[in-house]
Structure 1
Amino acid sequence: MRILVAEDHRILLDSIAMLLASIDGVEVVSKHTNGQQVLTALEIEPDINLVVSDVQMPVMGGIELTIQLRQRFPQVKICLLTVADQPEAIKEAIRAGADGYVLKSAERSELETALRTISKGNKFYSEQVMLQLANEVGIEVIPDLDKPQKITISKRELDVLKLIAQEFSGTQIAEKLFISPTTVETHRKHLMQKLGVQTTIGLVKYAIKFNLV
């Protein structure tokens, strides 16, 4: 796994690079202090698999870097490693197309898990990150039925899932969708059964894990 690292604080940059290099199978190809340097490096460095980047950096931060990667180097994955745990910052990163979002307070084992998960084409968001989103009003759920599990979720169930994620009550969901509260609960139970979760937070975490957010 060939990785580029971006972090504007030199001491942190060196520390992160050393940590990543200590993970079996990881090669840190180069280190950079802003997103623009990363893009320049990608023009000349072959076969880069993943970028590990801070969010707040001068010249070009992690969010803009993520957007640029999706447009110019879609094959390169990006994991944002940051102290920013506010829901708005997290949602902005996910919407930009980040493959992972890990807090700098994470253990080495979590970071290693994140890199290996992302390298396999999956998303990884720290547990704390998912809980922040699950408690935040206004999460947008974008229907996408073409999932690896081939679970069939109806449009109405997706409508219910979206409103659940926005923290509407069963009664409020019923009013918005012009159905009965009993029907809402039926959809909720079906979603839990299909997705293999036990709680409402579990439903939201599933939507985040499989990039419905």
Structure 2
Amino acid sequence: MRILVAEDHRILLESISMLLSSIDGIEVVGKYTNGRQVLTALEVEKGIDLVVSDLQMPVMGGIELTLQIRAHFPDVKICLLTVADQPEAIKEALRAGADGYVLKSAEREDLETALKTICEGRKFYSDAVLMQLAHDPVQELNPAVDKPQKITITQRELEVLKLIAQEFSGTQIAEKLFISPTTVETHRKHLMQKLGTQTTIGLVKYAIKFQLI
């Protein structure tokens, strides 16, 4: 796994790079202090699998870098490693297309799991990040159905909900549950209807809030 690291604080940049380099299978190819430098490096360095970036940096921060990578280097994954735990910052990163969002307070094992999960083609948001979304006062759920006792979720729907919350794709969920991708999407639609949300974040927030996962 070939990685570029972006962090504007040089001591942290060196520390993060050393930590990542100590993980089996990871090679830190370049270290940069802003997103613009990362984009320049991606033009030159081929075969980069992943960018690990801070959220707030001068010249170009993590959100803009994410948007640029999605637009110009769609095969490159990006994980934001940051102290920003505000729900709005997290949701902005999700909308931009970040593959992962990990807080700098996370354990080494969490970061290692995040990188491996992302490179397997799935998204990763640490437990602390999901809890921030779950406790976001700006509710995405329909207040009329925002109580578990008012909703009947089947065992199969619960299984699908748990896998959705773990960021498995529809195809991967189908394989795990031995059902068709079409059936997975039907369960997803039913869950969204029952829970009164139109987004995956809404499903995850509900699942965490009522301890379904």
Q: Name the TM tier (shorter chain).
A: 0.7 to 0.9
Aligned to 1:71: 71
Which residue does the alignment assign to 1:3? 3
Counterparts of 2:27 and 2:45 in 1: how far apart (Å)? Answer: 13
Distance, in Å, in 1 between the alignment partners of 2:106 and 2:45 is 29
Q: Which residue of 1 aligns with 2:91?
A: 91
Aligned to 1:40: 40
User: Higher mean Cα deviation, 155-164 or 6-15?
Assistant: 155-164
2:58 alignment counterpart: 58
Counterpart for residue 112 of structure 1: 112
Partner of residue 194, structure 1: none
- Report the Cα offset of residue 148 of structure 1: 2.1
Q: Which residue of 2 aligns with 1:159?
A: 193
How far off is 1:156 after superposition?
A: 4.4
Is the CA contact 2:192–2:198 (under 8 Å) kept in the aligned structure 1? no
- Aligned residue pairs total 175
| Residues 1:13 and 2:47 aligned together | no
Contact 1:161–1:203 (CA under 8 A) maintained in structure 2: no
Cα displacement (A) at 1:153 = 1.5
How far off its partner does 1:135 sit? 1.6
Are residues 205 and 60 of structure 1, via their aligned partners in 2, closer, same or farther at CA, if it must alter by over 3 Å? Answer: farther
Contact kept in structure 1, 2:55 and 2:80, CA below 8 Å: yes
Paired with 1:57 and 1:86, the residues of 2 have a C-alpha distance of 17
Alpha-carbon distance in structure 1 between the residues aligned to 2:39 and 2:49:
13
**Residues in 2 aligned to 1:77 and 1:205: alpha-carbon distance in whole angstroms:** 29
AA at the equivalent of 1:111: L
RMSD: 3.0
Identity across the alignment (%): 66
TM-score normalised to structure 1 length: 0.74
Compute the displacement of 1:164 (Å).
9.8
SS at match of 2:40: helix
Distance 1:99 1:76, change over 3 A: same
Q: Is the 8 A contact 1:3 1:28 kept in 2?
A: yes
Paired residues for 1:182-197 under 5 Å: none
- 1:108 partner letter: R
Q: Decide whether the 8 Å contact of 1:100 with 1:118 is kept in 2.
A: yes
Output the amino acid matched with 1:45: E
CA deviations on 1:134-157 (whole Å, 9 max, x unpaired) are 1213448xxxx9442132326343
Aligned to 2:125: 125
The 1:14/1:91 distance shift into structure 2, 3 A limit, reads same
Q: Gaps spanning 5+ residues in structure 1: where?
A: 169-190, 192-196, 207-213
- 2:208 corresponds to 1:201: yes
The code of the aligned residue for 1:148 comes to Q
The answer (yes or no) to whether the contact 2:100–2:114 under 8 Å persists in 1 is: yes
Flag the 1:162–1:128 CA change in 2: closer, same or farther, 3 A.
farther
Q: C-alpha separation between the residues in 2 aligned to 1:127 and 1:59?
A: 30
- Name the CA shift for 1:133/1:147 in 2 (closer, same or farther; >3 Å): farther
Gaps of 5+ in 2: 142-168, 175-183
Q: CA distance change for structure 1 residues 57 and 204 in 2, over 3 Å: closer, same or farther?
A: farther
- CA distance in 2 between counterparts of 1:149 and 1:203 reads 22
The aligned amino acid for 1:82 is T
Contact kept in structure 2, 1:6 and 1:35, CA below 8 Å: yes
Q: Which residue of 2 aligns with 1:149?
A: 173
Deviation for aligned residue 1:163 = 3.7
